[in-house]
Chains A and B, each alone.
Chain A
Amino acid sequence: MNIEEALKIEYAYMGGEYDVAVVGAGHAGCEAAHACAKMGLKTVLFTLFLDSIANLPCNPSIGGTAKGQLVREIDALGGIMGKVADECCIQMRMLNRSKGPAVYSPRAQMDRSRYSSVMKSALEDMDNLEIRQGHITDLLTSKNAEGKETVCGVRTASGAVFKASAVVICSGTYMESITIRGEVIAQSGPDGLPRSEGLSRSLADLGIPMLRFKTGTPVRINSRQVDFDALTRQDGELDVPPFSYDREMNGAKVPQEQIPCWSLWTTPDTKEIISSNMDRSPLYSGVITGIGPRYCPSIEDKFMRFSDKERHQIFVEPMGKDTNEMYLQGFSTSLPEEVQVKMVHSLPGLSNAVIQRHAYAIEYDLVDPLSLKSSLESKIVDGLFTAGQVNGSSGYEEAAGQGIVAGINAALKLLGKEPMIIDRSQGYIGVLIDDLVTKGTQEPYRMMTSRAEYRLFLRQDNADRRLTPVAHKIGMVDDERFARYEEKQQLIEEEKERLAGVYLGPSPVMEEILASAGYVLPPSGISLMELVRRPNITYDMIAPLDKNRRELPDYVKYAVETDIKYEGYLKLELEKIEKFADMERRKLPENIDYEDIKGLRLEARQKLSKHRPENLGQASRISGVSPADISVLHVYLEMIKRNKNG
């Protein structure tokens, strides 16, 4: 359907003209709209329900392993998630402190309703951005000069037509969604919100391959009836840096008054209730056909798959400052409501707990991410971008990471510039998008640090080093912030250089410091840098030896220490990254006919024709494509190049 056809429908009217229309105001949509507006494009953000902007329909928390790194990366790119999360934080922790800096992961509990209202007002305050409640049912397209479908706008259920040169769809789990509790199936979005109807069909009609996934969420209870004496308390930490680099460089701390979380274990009764009601589980009775995530099974799934385990741990998390509502992490289920009540009452301290919201499973339509480019633009429809759960991911942070990339690239496209591609060596965002668009996914994709090849390099503390220069170049980070960033890098480099240059002879003070870390005195002089390089010796520990040390912010000291300790290993990783980058630079033409290339094995031809990778690096990551096939492609590329030059 094009604009003219849309305007012919009954009650149709022209609602407005924009550069970019973002459909869906979840975590992906908010970042996308924020980025487009920040880059100066006239942007509209559509939501099904204004009060649910940036809703947290599952965990009331942001960050965690790999996800914390994603939030830092979004912030380094000039995104908004980290700032809002810092503002709404009611508890903060740094996970993995004993396991090495590469896997330190910040995680914060959120005040859920505040998160939504802070994000809403932040976006409302932005220039170039309009927020509208509306139900988008159709993507409007016309054929361009080359006969390719190209977006020209969107249409709402009420007949409004909006022109837009680029559209970013961030429909989350809303497209044609159904929620399931036992035998009860409802045509509904998450949290009882309206679902999106028609849009999925509109995309499929354009030839976009669609998939259907399943996910779920646990029970929420009122804390008034909970006996907390039966639960284990878990407090936050006060010395964690905030998500946002701006705040960190301003010396801002995380809130010093925090709300605790709690944990408990299921009882034999819980197991008994679940097993005697398994016949009512839609997952096992065959009602649910969508593919669920392995890392996020429901409680009944856990008991079924690991039947030798007698109990499972459940975390009880506050939903905010101004509410008694609490979230039962680990207690996701699609069993009927009446069974859920019995299950909750079987838990220690919760025998009288009142369920405020029931758990449910949800099934939804999504786009097969194999049909996307690395820029998150569709290979099929020009000017259409998709981000978030609609691309097969799971999690707020994964969604936001894609949202900012899709938003930036929609803007760059309209500005006539090359897309911004974050590769696997630059960030978790790059790993996430590359995995989705080159390998596709069989289940909602969750980011894990082990998915990254260059994990030592992709740390939560250096996301700014990896991404802020890129963001500055495209206008997502202003000059003022960039100057402060550069100042920080200069401090780090100067301090490392200084430590390398200071040599000290053996002394009683040194002996004492070394002994405390289990070392003996070296026979001759040693530099401060060599001392810091040793395991168990910190930058702060050698202060008594370092008379000329100047006062430096914690984040500089931390970066200096990490750089020095990791130097050797980082060098190895960087060598690998260089080779990797060489492959990524070799672009494969869009119209390449793999059937025509002699020397490729049959399997490789089929896989390459199906996945249509953008460069040699992507091609090499497709299973079934061997190094010899890549070698053949390399020769083919050289042939094309020489054909052109000759």
Chain B
Amino acid sequence: MSVLGGDEPFCACSTPAGTAGLAVIRVSGASLCEIMSSCVRVLRASNDRCGIALSEVKGYEAAYAEFFDPQTSESIDKVVLVRYEAPHSYTGDEMIEISCHGGDAVRQEILRVLYSIGIRPAGPGEFTKRAFVNGKLDLSEAEAVMKVIGASSERALKAANSQLYGKLSGRLATIEDKLYKVMALIEMIVEFPEHEDTPENADNVSRNCRECADSLKDLAESYGRGKMLTNGMKVVLLGLPNSGKSTLLNSIAGFERAIVTEIPGTTRDTLEIAVNIEGIPVVLTDTAGIRTTDDVVEEIGVKRARMAAMEADMILCLIAPDTSVDDVKELIADADVARTRAVFTKSDIGENPDKEEIIKVLESMDITQNVSISAPEGINLGSLKEMILDCYEHAGGLVSDEVIVINGRHRELLMSANNKLNEAAMVCDSGMGVDIASSVIRSALDDIGDITGKTVSSELADTIFSEFCIGK
């Protein structure tokens, strides 16, 4: 990354992390329309299939657009864009502001795509710095600008010391160590060709590169919410028979207009449907109604429902107008309250007469969030959706051990290093000189070093001297 930056484009989310209705991502730099046309389709209406070019959007007017991943063509979010022309923008360069739906996942995905098309993450205080360099800020503000940069780098430093980062750098240290040893061997061969310890050729360079490339890819793929992001967040609908579970399931599926697939292997009694809520893959599980029964078959269904609830990332406990306080108590008897939310259904038919008492019971068990909906009428489905997203956001406990990378920039760097190492392996196998392989590996180490803070030149010399006995 160039520290000076110039007008090369960079981006950052300008709204604070955490749940909010909207998030604003700002992009600043030259030729933005051209670069971003690969991931943005401006729509003239919600059913506009072709859209218009970004460059046709007038400056300072809001435009409705679809933001998609250019690699998979999958839609990430419907957003509102505002284009600012240079020099009449905050930074003085061309700028685009993207208002997207709030929530970590959408925001991170949009940033990831922006990074992948060559728009790098903003450095500490960079928007302000750019504004100053372009003469948008008064000279008297220079000191303040320098302080902003200093302060944001302190914050970044704190974030870098977080537990998760420690786990990442731990894993990267192993990979770096291996690569430095590979490099040291190549360098030994190149630097001291006649030395007694020097083999004629560096064996296993391509194998080692591929192994490291694979490890980096694994790390990169843990990005986002790891397992949840790839496999979907599992939401289980729990309730008495006929409490509106299936109706709700169908309305969410229909409401989201997502591809609804019946996942093979599911039994008649639990039905799983994959939907996409705000870019987050969610697996909704419809279960058999819970009730005490003497029917053997039905009892198996109830057991399975309970099992599904145990494995769920989130449990929606459905309470119909005719569900009694005791029924509710039984429903949530062995549910994990941290993951459980209450949904009062069929609000179009009428309110549950014991609603207040039920809420008290729920609160006594620390289930404080609830929502009243009518699935067929579509009442409050938006709120329900928010509740699901909120659970996702705060799912600290849901982040599995395999999740190492939570920063989109890190993911990009890891993928870039992964590509380079695969190329280095290819170069080795193709019979080109080790000089090129070493240049490519070095560049991969630079990418990793951007995360870990190590610089190749100094590390390399030390590795060579500690590994080999070199002398005149």
- Chain A residues with CB under 8 Å of chain B are 58-59, 65-66, 95-96, 98-103, 218, 265, 294-299, 301-302, 305-306, 309, 312-313, 315, 329-330, 332, 448-451, 453, 455-456, 535-536, 565-566, 569, 572-573, 579, 582-583, 586, 597-601, 616, 620, 623, 626-632, 634-636, 638-639, 642-643, 646
Contact = CB atoms under 8 A, between A and B. Distances in A.
Interface of B is mostly: helix
B146 interface: yes
Contacts of B2: 579, 582-583
Closest 9 CB pairs of A and B: A100-B433, A100-B435, A628-B153, A599-B150, A599-B146, A102-B435, A313-B196, A639-B142, A306-B469
B307 interface: no
B432 A100 contact: yes
A635 B457 contact: no
Interface of B: 1-4, 6, 123-126, 129, 132-133, 135, 139, 142-143, 145-153, 156, 183, 187, 189-196, 200-201, 430-436, 438-440, 442-443, 455-458, 460-461, 464-465, 469-472
A484 to B, nearest CB: 28
Given A451-B461, A598-B147, A100 B123 contact: no
B457 A450 contact: yes
B143 A631 contact: no
Contacts of A630: 3-4
A104 to B, nearest CB: 9
B375 to A, nearest CB: 51
Please indicate which of the listed interface residues B125, B156, B436, B456 has the most CB atoms of chain A within 10 Å of its own CB.
B436
A99 B434 contact: yes
Contacts, number: 183
Given A100-B435, A294-B470, A579-B4, 11 more contacts: A100-B432, A295-B465, A295-B471, A312-B196, A453-B457, A535-B430, A535-B431, A623-B455, A628-B153, A631-B125, A635-B145
Given A309-B469, A330-B472, A450-B190, A631 B435 contact: no
Contacts of B430: 535
A73 to B, nearest CB: 18
Contacts of A294: 465, 470
A450 B191 contact: yes
B471 A302 contact: yes
B6 A582 contact: yes
Contact of B4 (A265, A299, A569, A586): A586
Contacts of A582: 2, 4, 6
A96 B200 CA distance: 10
Given A58-B472, A65-B191, A102 B3 contact: no
8 contacts: A295-B472, A297-B469, A449-B191, A450-B191, A599-B146, A601-B150, A628-B124, A635-B133
Contact of A642 (B126, B139, B193): B139
B101 to A, nearest CB: 31
B194 A95 contact: yes
Contacts of A101: 433, 435
A161 B227 CA distance: 81
A329 B139 contact: no
A61 to B, nearest CB: 11
A309 B153 CA distance: 48
B471 A66 contact: no
B383 to A, nearest CB: 42
Nearest to A301: B471
Contacts of A455: 435, 438-439
Nearest to B450: A627
A199 to B, nearest CB: 27
A450 B464 contact: yes
Given A448-B461, A643-B139, A626 B194 contact: no
A100 B436 contact: yes
A579 B6 CA distance: 10
A635 B472 contact: no
Given A100-B436, A599-B146, A623 B458 contact: yes
B461 A632 contact: no
B413 to A, nearest CB: 14
